[in-house]
Amino acid sequence: MSAESSIDYQVYPFDARGIARRFRHAAIFGALDALQPGEAMRFVNDHDPLPLLAQVQGRYGDAVEILYRQREAGAVVIDFVVGVGEIEAAAAQAGSGCGCGSEGCG
């Protein structure tokens, strides 16, 4: 988890405070899965989501960089940045960018 990044990226806002708790993680992972290399989700929440960060690292590894923009009681802002090289490497390792394998998505 980094504090700063010198790489420019397209940012899309995601305010978790307005999403019911039972839907949050599914919505967050759906949003992260939709990001393309060079894009980021700017996550806003009222608390530091440490269990979520562990899940993100476990699921995406180095393909998603976690950058705190604000880290105060009641106000947390994090950029989840999708890296170009890491995503390409993960897709090549999986055999298919979509996860459908050699059968395709049909």
The domain segmentation of the chain, as residue ranges, is: 10-99
For 10-52, what is each residue's pLDDT tens digit? 999 999 999 999 999 999 999 999 999 999 999 999 999 999 9
SS3 52: helix
Pick the CATH number of 10-99 from 2.130.10.10, 3.30.110.40, 3.40.50.1170, 2.40.30.10: 3.30.110.40
Q: Which of 3-7, 52-56, 88-92 has the highest mean pLDDT?
A: 52-56
Single pTM value for the model: 0.73
Radius of gyration, alpha carbons of the chain: 14
